[in-house]
Structure 1
Amino acid sequence: MNAYSGYTDQQLVVLLKQNNETAFRAIFDIWHKKLYHFSLRYLNSREQSEEAVHDALINLWTSREKIEEDQPLGAYLYTICKRLCLNRIREAARYNAASENLWARYQDISHSTEDILNLAELEAFTALGLEKLSKQQQLVFRMSRYEGLSQQEIAERLNISKETVKKHSAEALKTLRVHFEAYGLSCLFFVFMSKM
């Protein structure tokens, strides 16, 4: 049990401003779960919500000197968390819009000129690239790209760490990018990856 578990938010903020890490831990313990459920309503993703909460609490620690002691801590944390969630939503919307524009452009180009590769050929070409990956990289890639699982979900299913999943995913993408570039198809690599 934290030494400051009975303290009020205002008392914890006073201690926090004095660089007291135990007070920060008490705030973390009190607010983490509340902020997580709050973020989950916006983001509908466990992983994204967890990241938003951690970012909000890191923001609290790094800007602790600027916090007003009489300001309600909950309102402060919810405001930060909401801003971070909305930033993630905007970022995802921009990414999706860019991906759709790129795909539409590719379709326009492919319809207006002779098709260099149709989608079936592109998928077959990608399958050849997948054969160059280790079995574990192939598995992680397929679970991520074809099944739409998050890194955390893949880690849980394969009983490996999230960091190992990230490593396999990065290596798989690197190998596939080289495979596409070797045939002068690097632009198609990004189009194909964005549609998965």
Structure 2
Amino acid sequence: MKNNSSLTDHDLIQRLKAGDESAFKVVFDLWFKKLYHFSFRYLKNREYAEEVVQETMLQLWLTRGKLDESYPISPYLFTITRRLSLNSLRQIATSKSASERHFADLKDAVNTTEEAVSLAELKRITEEALVLMPKQQQQVYRMSRNEGLSLDEIADVLGILKNTVKKHLSEALKAIRKHFTVRYYLFFLVLFSFWKR
């Protein structure tokens, strides 16, 4: 591949449309920080901004066949990032708990990528992430999500502080989102490799 600095948008888009993963990495490396700072201006939250940019890059890969080589790639990336940032703001504003926000995010992810990942696959990946967690963190998550207990109720049952419950739940949600991003990306690359045969 050419040196990154000598690659034009036309070159990158052509390579992306051909399924060149190294071109995707170039775009990721060139634009991740810029898109992150752009999203952060809306969200004022590092974790949410990172999630938005990861989703932007995922959408770029999924829709690469629709890219037009005659147009620069940056407006496309910033448009997706702005839309996802505003969506995230709406979700944050209307969510009543971290758990509700998490599953709204997962639902959006399913809607965006429904042709590649079924809801069953999403649940399986979530379960994969759960079994990797410390026992109490996993227990807090299951009590919140599966049993519908409040933070106060979980704290009473486990005999721990409410703030400790909140911390465990926050860390569990963060771990699940991270695991989902990694597993989905790998899943898609394997699927794409199969299509190329």
Give the TM bin, normalised by the shorter chain: 0.5 to 0.7
Flag structure 2 segments of 5+ consecutive residues without an equivalent: 101-149, 180-197
Partner in structure 1 of residue 4 of structure 2: 5
Contact 1:35 1:53 in 2 (8 A): yes
In structure 2, the residue matched to 1:56 is 56
Partner of 1:151: 171
The share of aligned pairs that are identical, in percent, is: 38
Counterpart of 2:163 (choices 136, 142, 146) is 142
TM-score normalised by length of structure 2: 0.53
State the alpha-carbon separation in 1 of the partners of residues 18 and 54 from structure 2.
21
Segments of structure 1 that go 5 or more residues without pairing to the other structure are 100-121, 132-137, 156-161, 167-196
- CA spacing shift, 1:144–1:45, aligned 2, 3 Å: farther
Query: CA offset at residue 144 of structure 1?
Result: 6.0
Q: Which residue of 2 aligns with 1:193?
A: none
Q: Do the aligned residues in 1 keep the contact of 2:154 with 2:165 (CA within 8 Å)?
A: no
User: 1:27-38 residue pairs with structure 2 within 5 A?
Assistant: 27-38=27-38
Q: Which residue is 1:129 aligned to?
A: 157
> For 1:57-136, what aligned pairs fall within 5 Å after superposition?
57-96=57-96, 127-131=155-159
1:107 maps to which residue? none
Distance 1:57 1:46 in 2: 17
Contact in 2 for aligned 1:16/1:24 (Cα 8 Å): yes
Q: Once the 2 structures are TM-superposed, how far is the Cα of residue 142 of structure 1 from its aligned partner? A: 2.6
Q: Give a deviation string over 1:44-89, Cα, whole Å, max 9, x none.
A: 1111111100000000000000011112211100000000011111
Number of residue pairs the alignment of both structures matches: 126
The one-letter amino acid of 2:29's match is: D
Contact 1:14 1:69 (C-alpha < 8 Å) held by counterparts = yes
Q: Give the Å deviation of 1:92.
A: 1.7
TM-score, normalised on structure 1?
A: 0.54
How much has 1:148 moved relative to structure 2?
Answer: 10
Q: Is the 8 A contact 2:36 2:49 kept in 1?
A: yes
Equivalent residue number for residue 42 of structure 1: 42
Deviations 1:123-172 (A, max 9, x none): 986543132xxxxxx58x73462x799539xx9xxxxxx46xx9xxxxxx
CA distance in 2, matches of 1:123, 1:12: 48
Aligned residue type for 2:157: G
CA RMSD after TM alignment: 3.5
Separation in 2 of the partners of 1:64 and 1:48?
Answer: 24
Q: 1:124, 1:74 → 2: CA distance?
A: 46
Structure possessing the higher radius of gyration over alpha carbons:
1
Mapped contact 2:10–2:70 kept (Cα < 8 A): yes
What code does the residue aligned with 2:89 have? I
